[in-house]
Structures are given as structure tokens and as C-alpha cells.
Structure 1
């Protein structure tokens, strides 16, 4: 027996494993699937054609994964991908790793060898030694099913778990004989999802008392609080507590709010504010090194942590009190208790002092960030001020993103900066921007990346053109890997492999069918970006970093 092709399936058969997968996705409300058809996953596409689910073909499986990730980050809905077996699974693995690191709900469905041929090493098409095991290294869960009914059940179980637990990617492998085989329309019973964790009344009382008695409280907020923006604001105002966010939590509190210190936890002034606080409430963050850039948060004050993931409650900082709960539920309960049991806990003088502390830390952090940002600070500040405050920015592991957008783009709500914070992949920005625009067609979406990052996924310009979306793709061209070049020089290493030949991005954009524009000044960039937001297709806007004159 050898690896079979799904093209051998009877062309008239419809109710098979592919139907089971697609029917389950449709029942979960999936509207868009990103992916690439291949020899082994044709039955998924047979079933897909009978639904209203939109399929978006990317030019590389990694692009499909990043597009689904950007879709999920911008919409709050899970991203879904179809890929074929073997090399396609390898190609999407980096995207799955990115989603796992940043807690993004991503489902990847792929065919696998027929039952009984796992690891057979017989030279079958696309054969891998252990495809499921390979993906177990990057996904939260990697499942190989034995039946169409089980495939449907795993999908329903995955979506249910995402509603009550930490959201991380899942890989689903469907054997070829299951994908092609008949399905009777049934689904195996799905396990009950984990219940939404809830704090005990005693822990809520203790947390309330600690917060109410604090003279200088502060909040440190991460991605786990993006669904609790209103609750974060209410609690911060009740306590007169400055709010520092991680980059993944950027915008959870409107960055124009007087208590906002911004996405500045990496920076000294924000760290000093947290260290000076007598009580710090950490919400939805593992306090990872990638977020803190080497800072060890050994806070002398009382630390309270809230997280939906029990395992994250003690990572990198052990709290005095850990609340295993959904951020929205826990913050709402704390705010209600504070409002009823401690009315007027904050005086006008205390509130004014808190605003002053937050304002000082915000301004000082901006100054520190600007010193490291080169031209990226002014570029981001100017674009931020000139464009609608609902703009979604897709960044990348580029200097213009982590030195610029993360700190200098004023964000007024969560889910408006798409950035691969922890895995720090290259090639994320363009496909993520495509996914965001397809998920949020009414919102202004732009891509702002460096040339090194864009070249990793530049083929997705064809996807953007094919989808007919108005998407400014701003590429700041510094002709190579500037961050690595800087690191080599700082370490006394002669630069090797970092000064690169780059294409004429304007002509490249036009070759793909997009508009192409080159700008040399900030006014030109603002104008070109505004026009691109309402254009009839994507626009590649090239900015030569060596010609940037603003500081």
C-alpha cells in the first residue's frame, strides 16, 4: 500500500472526511479560510465549494498562516488555514510558532498519510517521518484523527476551548483515507470545554482590600486583557492607577487617557513607575523577556496577577495573590466591589498626583524611546497624527516596528497593532495586513515594514492584488538587515551577510499589479498613504532610509 492521492476519489461522492471538516467549520461560524490547494487536500476544497466560506489563496503556506494570524488579531475571531501535506506543513510551521508565542487562535488543517502508514518511509508523495509530531513542537495541540466524525469533533472541541481558555494554535491532521472516505454525517461526542475559571469570593475580597489600601497602585496589562479594555479603564479610574502595557497589550487603555503610560514596559521610566508602586496588578501577561527586553521585574510592592491560564500566573514573577480567571470577569468583579465597598477611595488630590505620575512616565518613556528610534519615531508619530485613529498597522520584526510603531504610534483601542512580538519572525507584516483587511474591510489598514522583512513574503503582493484591497504597503528600505548590522558592529564583528541588494520596490509593486510610489519626505509619505487607503488596489510606497531627513 502506498500514499494515495485524493484525486482517486469518486468525483460524485460528497459526504466524506472533507465534508466533515468543512461542515464543522461552517457550524462554528468560520467565514474565511486561508491556504493553498494541493494534491492531497482536494476533498477539503470539494466541500468548501458548497459553502459560503471564502477561500483566500496565498502564494506560500507561511503567508497563509500569517494572514490567518493577522485576521485573528484584527477581528478577535479564530484564523483557519488549509494546507496540503509534507512541505506545506513545514512551510506553515513558523506561522504556527508565531501564533503560539503570542496566544493567537489559529487552526491548521492538513492531510496526512493513510491509517497504518504513519512513519512507513516508503517514499510516498510529501511523506514525512512524523508530521503530527513535528507540529507538536510549535502548536499547543497537534492531533491526528482516525475518523471523519473525530475530525469534526476536534474542530468543535478546539473552538469551545478557545472560548474559555488561553487561545493558542491547533494542528489537525486528517489521514488521506479518512479525508476521502465516506462520512455518515455524525460527529463524535465532544468533551465539555473547560469551565471559565473564576476567582473565589475570598480572593476577590483580599484583592479588593489590597488595591483599596494602596497609596500608589499601578496596572501592568498584556494581551490577555484585550477583551477587557472597558474594565481596565474603569478599574484604573476607580484606583487612579497609571496603566503600563506590553506591546501585545498596546491600546487596551486608550493611549490618550491621562492614566496611560503606553506600551512602554520595556523602557526605564515605566519600569521605575512600576517599581515605585506599592501595589501592582498584572493582567494577562507572562512578563516574557521578549516583552521586557531584559528587565527582571523584581517589584518590591505587593503584586496581584490575573490570568486565564493558570500556568502563567507565576511565570517570571511570583505574586502575593494569583487570580485564575478571565480578565474581563475578574476586573469587573473587582471594580464592582471597589465601587460599593470603597466609594470615594480616591481624592481629587490623589487623582491629580496619579495623572502627574503617569504623564511624567509617559513623556520620559517617549524621550527614551526616541533616542533609540532614529527616524522611526517621527515617521510613526507623523503618520499616526495624520491618519484615522481607527487605523490598523501591520508591522514586522523590523526596526521601524519595534523601535517605531510600538512606542510612537498613538493607539486608542486594542487589536490595532499586529506585530510578532515573541517569536519575532520576519515576513509577517504583509500577509498579516492582508488578513486584517479581509477581516476588517471597513477599517483603514496599512503595512509598515523594512525591506528585509518584506522580502521574506513579497510574493503575497500578488495575493493582495488578487483580493482587490486598498492596502498601503510602506517599505522603509535600509538595504539589508540593519539591526543585525548594528549588532555586529557593537560586538566588534565586521559586518557579514547584512548589506544586501534590494529591488526597486516601486517597479516590483507595479509588476505585481499594484500601484507603486517612491517618496523622499514626510509630507509626501502622508499624502501617498492617504491616497493608498482609498485606492482601487494595493500600493507599494518605498521610502529610502538613507534619504530620510527628519529626526
Structure 2
């Protein structure tokens, strides 16, 4: 068994069932064992798409997404996607080639040569490691999967030199993952419960780190009678619940709700400006009495709290809820309702119109996964939107903010949840970044419904320029005829002149069981 074959065997042992990648002469040895394995290979149209697909797959499946790319340009094409995964704490493993060991760092002009590939990746990835000998492979993979399982996840990179890929690896044995997420300190849980028992106006802030802990989060909120403010990556939790506030802390009424609390429990949120200060007005202030639950010690230290609990949110919220006696408070739903109504009223009429697109998708396809790109309805929904599925609403308009994320990430999501409707909501500008991935969706049999918000340009940027008194320049790239593009791929497509026909169009598209495209013309 070669090192390349051993790689496939070990990935299977770690539960990997799908990899995304584009083979090249620098990685063909990594593919030697793939055809006879249980792992499915998905071919995007660009390496950036491979890592975006791995990201979407990871967010929905809860398992690390894996991408195979060649050395040099293949790897540099993934850097944007890796940066997005790091910003949003998504476990993505990128395995690349690298030139022969004896040539590295010498500048001899080999194909795909970089001065220091690992050095470059180490600025983006949580870890970048070279496996130059077969005996080091099992340990390297164990370290990668340990990072994913034990702390704040993100992208990890492993490179394998060309001269190592075909070396004899024997019969490899997987090294087990050595650690799980940190367990909460029982004394910290007791102290948090004591603070909660004495609070008269408690509040919970839930971020993306809590998206898989809904039962415990709901139990704690109900025991405390505490409103729960949901950041963009936590939407879908507490859908329709009287204590839920699916609105951004960038909005004044939500900030007022937080400021009025005498205890704030923050679960899995980094207090990033894209959630808490989207407009950059500096109006958000850190809560005075704050309990933070976070899986990352460095994150706890960046924004200190009265009490920090180092733990996975699910591991901490469960015993905390059990330690809190029902408070008997009954003003929580009223406090939440006031914040919801005022937050919605703060949105502009245009934003409320854009929000209708999200609500139409949610109501036409209950339980759908909606993957957004950086486009006007997504920005509006990040400010205020109540999704009906935990973990079923995510996008690139927070954190790193990469355009073109939506289409490939939606393909990864659809492959992770093949029986669930998956909708990609993207603008005409952002869609053109990764439009060729329509072909990848068809190849993979991923029944994504691509909804294009076509306002003929980068309208959000144009609006920002006008608001700043700048004459808009460079914001009107002409879109193609998207229906003809879909036709060229053999994909069903429909054009709408407004939102009224969107529910029926979505239902028809879902009924086909295939990838489809819906274009909405925005005046």
C-alpha cells in the first residue's frame, strides 16, 4: 500500500465519506485508492469551490469537510474558503500536494512552486503540517481530527510531497483522536447558577457555537424566563418561541434589551463586529455582568467576563440548566416581544421587502436549509430573520464575508442532507464568482435550488457609496441571461418579476428532485 492509498484508508477510519477536489498530475497518487474505497469524490469547477463545498458539508453534517487540491495554484485557490471557515469556526481539512522534498525552498522554477507553501498556509489554517514519510501520516491525521474534536474548529492543512506519495506505507493503523471538547468546571457551573438565581432581568446571547445545543438552551431560557438574542449563525434556534429574539445586536432595540439586563449569559459567541456592530457606529457595549461559555480559551481571554466557562456549549448548558431552579419570572416573553417588534420596525422598507424573500422560502419549504451569499436579502435577514431549523441558515455575509460562497457551500450542504430541501440565495454579482458550480451540482446529483436576486450589479455597495456621497463606480457588472446559462447546463430554470410567484416556483423546483434555478428580477 502506498502512502496515497494509506491516506484513503485512514480517512475512512476517521469517518470521512465524501471528499471534494480537482485531481492534477501533482495529486494523482493521492487518488490511487479512491476508486475502490467507500469515499465519494465530488469534482467542483474551481478549487475554491472544493473548500466552500467542504465548508457547507461540515456545517450541515457536523463532520469535518475534506478537500483534495494540487500544490501551488490549487492550494492558493482554497485560501479564501479556508479564511471563511476560520472566521466561522468550521472544520475543514485541506490535503494538498507539494513539490519534491529536495526542491523545496530553493527557487528552482518547478511547476506550481511556492517559496514556502506551509508558511503561507500557517497564517490562515489552525495547523499546517508536512507528511514526508509514510510513518508520519497516521499521527498527522490524528492531530488534525483532534483539533476538530477538542477545541474551536477551523481549517487544517496537510501537505504531502510528490516524492512521498508513492512510498510504501505498509498496512496503516489509524491513531485515535486523543481528546474531546473541554468539560465545564463544576464550580464554574455552580457560580453561574448562583448568579442566575439572583438576577432579576437575565438575558442569553446565543451564537453559532450553540446551534447544536437547542434543547439545553431552551430549558435554561425557560427556567430563567430569559429572552434569547440569536446572532446570525444561531438562527433557527427557538423558532417561534416567545423568548426568542432572532435579531442582530447591531440594532438599537436589541442593544437596549441587552443593556437593561442585569445578567447576560453568552453561549458560543465571539462578540464579533459583524454581529454586534455591523454599521461600525461603536454603539454596542459589553454587558456589565457577563457569563461567557466558549470552547476556546483564547476567545475567553480576548473579551473577559465576570465568569468564563471553558466548554462546548452543549456540555455547559445542560448542567447549568439542571442547576437552575425555575425562577417563576413571567416578564421574559414581554421583554422579548418588545425587542422583536422594535427591531423589525428599525429595518428600512427595502429591507422588509427583501426579508419577504427569506420568509417565502421558509414557508414554502418548511425545514429547508438556506445557504446565503453576500446579497441584499441575506444582509437584511442577518439583521432580522427567524428560521425554522437549527443550523439551517448560514451565509458568508458575516465574519470573512467571501462573495461566491453560497453556490458551492449549498452543494456541500445538499450532499450532507440529501433528503432536505436546500436553497442557495445569491445575488447576480456574487453568483458570477462561482456560477460554473452549476455543473458540479448536476454531476453530484445535488438538488440545490439556486435563487438569484438579480438587481444587475453590486447594489449593496452602490447604496453604501451613495450614502457616503460617492458617485458609484464599478458596481454595475452586466449579468448574463441566467436562464440561458441554466439551459446550457441542461437545468430547469424560471424567471420571476416579483416575489409573488416565488412559493409556487420553489415547490415546483423541489418536486423535480433536481438542481434548478429561479431568477428574481429586482427593479
How high is the TM-score relative to the length of structure 2? 0.96
Match 2:393 to one of 417, 433, 438: 417
Residue 226 of structure 1 is matched in structure 2 by 211
Asked whether the equivalents of residues 423 and 450 of structure 2 are also in contact (C-alpha less than 8 Å), the reply is yes
For 2:391 and 2:81, locate their aligned partners in 1 and report how far apart those are by CA, in whole Å: 18
Distance 1:384 1:337, change over 3 A: same
Residue 359 of structure 2 is matched in structure 1 by 381
Whether 2:276 is the aligned partner of 1:298: answer no
Residue 514 of structure 2 is matched in structure 1 by 537
CA shift, 1:257, in A, is 0.5
Whether 2:237 is the aligned partner of 1:246: answer no
Residue 7 of structure 1 is matched in structure 2 by none
CA shift, 1:120, in A, is 1.6
Task: Summarize deviations over 1:9-32 as a string: whole Å, max 9, x none.
Answer: xxxxxx111112111110011111
CA shift, 1:369, in A, is 2.9
CA shift, 1:149, in A, is 2.4
Asked whether the equivalents of residues 254 and 411 of structure 1 are also in contact (C-alpha less than 8 Å), the reply is no
Whether 2:436 is the aligned partner of 1:459: answer yes
Moved more, 231-240 or 323-332: 323-332
Aligned pair count reads 519
For 1:257 and 1:374, locate their aligned partners in 2 and report how far apart those are by CA, in whole Å: 21
CA shift, 1:300, in A, is 5.0
For 1:469 and 1:452, locate their aligned partners in 2 and report how far apart those are by CA, in whole Å: 23
CA shift, 1:291, in A, is 1.6
Secondary structure class of the residue paired with 2:486 = helix
CA shift, 1:189, in A, is 6.2
Residue 480 of structure 2 is matched in structure 1 by 503
Secondary structure class of the residue paired with 1:181 = coil
Whether 2:265 is the aligned partner of 1:278: answer no
Distance 1:256 1:407, change over 3 A: farther
Residue 11 of structure 1 is matched in structure 2 by none
Counterparts of 1:383-402 in structure 2 under 5 Å?
A: 383-388=361-366, 390-402=367-379
Asked whether the equivalents of residues 35 and 81 of structure 1 are also in contact (C-alpha less than 8 Å), the reply is yes
Counterparts of 1:195-344 in structure 2 under 5 Å?
A: 196-251=181-236, 253-292=237-276, 293=278, 294=280, 295=282, 297-315=284-302, 317-338=303-324, 342=325, 344=326
For 2:286 and 2:469, locate their aligned partners in 1 and report how far apart those are by CA, in whole Å: 35
Task: Summarize deviations over 1:160-204 as a string: whole Å, max 9, x none.
Answer: 3322211111011011111121112245967x7355323333222
For 1:314 and 1:220, locate their aligned partners in 2 and report how far apart those are by CA, in whole Å: 18
Asked whether the equivalents of residues 100 and 139 of structure 1 are also in contact (C-alpha less than 8 Å), the reply is yes
CA shift, 1:409, in A, is 4.3
Task: Summarize deviations over 1:32-74 as a string: whole Å, max 9, x none.
Answer: 1001010110011111112010000000000111111011111
Residue 498 of structure 2 is matched in structure 1 by 521
Counterparts of 1:169-180 in structure 2 under 5 Å?
A: 169-180=155-166
Secondary structure class of the residue paired with 1:108 = strand
Residue 10 of structure 1 is matched in structure 2 by none
How high is the TM-score relative to the length of structure 1? 0.91
For 1:249 and 1:360, locate their aligned partners in 2 and report how far apart those are by CA, in whole Å: 20
Distance 1:296 1:45, change over 3 A: farther
For 2:170 and 2:283, locate their aligned partners in 1 and report how far apart those are by CA, in whole Å: 56
Q: Which 5+ residue runs of structure 2 have no aligned equivalent?
A: none
CA shift, 1:309, in A, is 0.4
Residue 470 of structure 2 is matched in structure 1 by 493
Residue 13 of structure 2 is matched in structure 1 by 27
